[in-house]
A and B are shown apart, each in its own frame.
Chain A
Amino acid sequence: MSKAIYFDIDRCIGCFACQSACKQENDLAPHTLEEALSQTAPIWRRVMEVEQGDYGQETVSYISLSCMHCADAPCVIACPTGALSRDKESGRVVVNESKCIGCKMCLQACPFGIPQYGKDDLMQKCNLCLDRLQDGEAEPACVASCPAKALRYGDTAELSKKEQTKVAARLVLATGNKYSAGI
């Protein structure tokens, strides 16, 4: 069954626990401000602060972002060596470092700016905690660390069914039919 991480923007409180847990789990060095600005220190999950609205009415949102493991991933098509592939069973987009030549074609293909390059110049990114889950853990490190349950891990079909139900309920509420929403 294809699995995925769902991110709920309404629940994220911007505590950066997922970012830290990801670095710890995947042995990624903490980065300095300079490294963060020039994106020279690899980071697999990043929390970003997004402000919007005018003065006096601005709102701040947080977005926790890592590889989306796209169903039809543009990086997989762009990769010239076949180093990137998507496992249909698990839904993981993974990079085979022994095949990667560091050409950065994936960087130009990814709409989310996910691919990272380490000191060896090879591409690295989130692998949905492959090792951790093989060791018997139930969830990726970022999901397990989230105190607000903004990150959820599970079967793709089930995750989207849950969200669909929520959206449907919201629609019903918005149209005023409070009794048939069942919540």
Chain B
Amino acid sequence: MPKNEKICIIGNGGAAVEAVKALRENQYEGEIHLVSDSAQPAYNPMLTTYYVSGKIEFEAMFPYGCNMDLYEQYDVTLHLGSPVAGLDTKTKTVSTASGAVYPYDKCLVATGASPFLPPIEGMDRERVYTMRTVEDAQKLKKALEKKPGKALVIGASMVGIKVVELLYDAGAEVCLADMAPCLFPLAAHQECACVIENRLTDKGIRLRFGAGIEKILETDGKLSGCFSDGKPPEETDLIAVCIGVRPNLGFIDREQIEIDRGILVDDHMRTSETDVYAAGDVAQGMNLLTGKKQIIGLWPNARYQGRTAGRNMAGAEDVYSGAIPHNITHFMHMVFSGFGDLTSGTRTETEERNGGYVQRAWNGSNLVGVNMLDSSCAQIGIIKSAVEKGLRTGTPAEFEQLCSMKLRDKLLLEHFKKA
């Protein structure tokens, strides 16, 4: 690859940094320009709740270091604090809101995602918080200093539950609301969700499911959240909105680059436009379970995608065939983990033993989703890897084996006997 080539990376998260590393580790010697609205080193959005709860220090939110050493080490030209306004694939340029224009030979879009805020009255009130960026975390942490007596969390998501936990630990009376009828609507089966819900209720968390937020009012210093079920509004001192995120792709010209929910990418992280790649929460890659393209907004997925994009941009061919949606979260003395989609199965089964809980969803003889609680989670990695490997190689793990420890034994035997 010629030395005078220019690569422009838009965004500054896990995917962007992995791309930078992959480029340099694969002997790319040209310029790397990194343009981002953020003025900080790359941070991990998942760590914001840990910072607010006081479990980690501010510096620990930046997994690659809380300084610019890494960018210097990899010789990156930084253009921070400059939001991108446009990407023109005809002139091969990236332009920022402040009017700067950067030409590129290859471009990586790794702009991530932002919290989704429903367009309703009162969403812009002062004590309504979101949880995604370092700034979001700082704001909420400050709000906790005022010791809110009551708090309302909207969105029973993975982020939502961590926000519930930190508010609960801070001594607030917490209500968790969601439009869905149960907890973790995307990740958990209703039955498993019910088990967790009962435990939350036992701890004094109030649940308001099955009704969407309609407006947020403020009277006499009190906030009140009004819901679509017409029941009395929720009086509170603080509201956290954790409904989910949407990809940051406002600057993309849909005529030039193919977009569905995110930017569509192939297994090389190439978009529909030559020389433009995408990775991370903005990219819509393959869901191995469904065979359809879906945004899978997970830290490891973003890093794999960024690395794959970087390698390919450097001319070292690499393929990332996709991922399956998965989650593991520990909160309020329990652990929940799962992968796949429990609603897509034709039948489910439940198993409870040794203080653990497992629920599996099957489509014929294919395992399409798993929920696990507490000690059962010890097996999640083994099962997830077996299913993933089966999907990648076209040889699904057998039904009988996926049900028991036989799976682990079989995999190990294969591993050690392959010679």
A-side interface residues toward B, CB under 8 Å? 7, 9, 37-40, 48, 50, 52, 61, 63, 65, 74, 77-82, 99, 101-105, 107-113, 115, 121, 163, 166-167
Contacts and interface: CB of A to CB of B under 8 A. Distances in A.
18 contacts: A48-B408, A50-B409, A52-B409, A63-B416, A77-B300, A78-B299, A78-B300, A81-B60, A82-B63, A101-B55, A104-B335, A104-B377, A107-B378, A107-B380, A108-B326, A110-B382, A111-B389, A112-B412
Contacts of A50: 409, 412-413
B47 A80 contact: yes
A39 to B, nearest CB: 4
Given A65-B412, A77-B304, A99-B60, A38 B355 contact: yes
B270 interface: no
Interface in B313-335: 326-330, 335
How many chain B residues sit at the interface, stated as a range, is: 35 or more
A113 B64 contact: no
Contacts of A103: 46, 328-330
Contacts of A112: 381-382, 412
Nearest to B412: A63
B337 interface: yes
Which 3 A-B pairs give the minimum distances between C-beta atoms? A111-B385, A82-B63, A9-B416
B132 interface: no
A102 B330 contact: yes
Interface string B366-391: 00000000010111111011100100
Given A50-B409, A80-B44, A104-B328, A7 B416 contact: yes
Contacts of A105: 299-300, 328
B419 A81 contact: no
A66 B96 CA distance: 50
B380 A38 contact: no
A110 B63 CA distance: 20
Contacts of A163: 419
B328 A39 contact: no
Given A38-B375, A48-B412, A108 B384 contact: yes
B337 A104 contact: yes
B419 A167 contact: yes
Nearest to A61: B413
Contacts of B377: 104, 107-108
B354 interface: yes
Contacts of B389: 111
Nearest to A98: B60
A52 B328 contact: no
A82 B55 CA distance: 16
A62 to B, nearest CB: 10
A113 B382 contact: yes
A107 B339 CA distance: 13
A111 B44 contact: no
A77 B389 CA distance: 17
Nearest to A75: B381
Given A37-B354, A101-B50, A167-B419, A113 B379 contact: yes
A77 B413 CA distance: 26
A3 B386 CA distance: 27
Contacts of B245: none
B300 A101 contact: no
B33 interface: no
A101 B44 CA distance: 13
A159 to B, nearest CB: 12
B375 A104 contact: no
A182 B196 CA distance: 64
A110 B354 CA distance: 22
A82 B64 CA distance: 7
Nearest to A110: B381
B150 interface: no
B288 to A, nearest CB: 15
Nearest to A37: B354
Nearest to B379: A113
B402 to A, nearest CB: 14
B335 to A, nearest CB: 6
B417 interface: yes
B303 interface: yes
A78 B303 CA distance: 8
B246 to A, nearest CB: 21
A75 to B, nearest CB: 9
B81 interface: no
A102 B53 CA distance: 14
B330 A104 contact: yes
B356 interface: yes
Given A104-B330, A105-B328, A115-B381, 17 more contacts: A9-B417, A48-B412, A63-B412, A63-B416, A74-B300, A77-B303, A78-B299, A78-B300, A80-B44, A80-B46, A81-B44, A101-B55, A102-B330, A108-B377, A111-B381, A112-B382, A113-B378
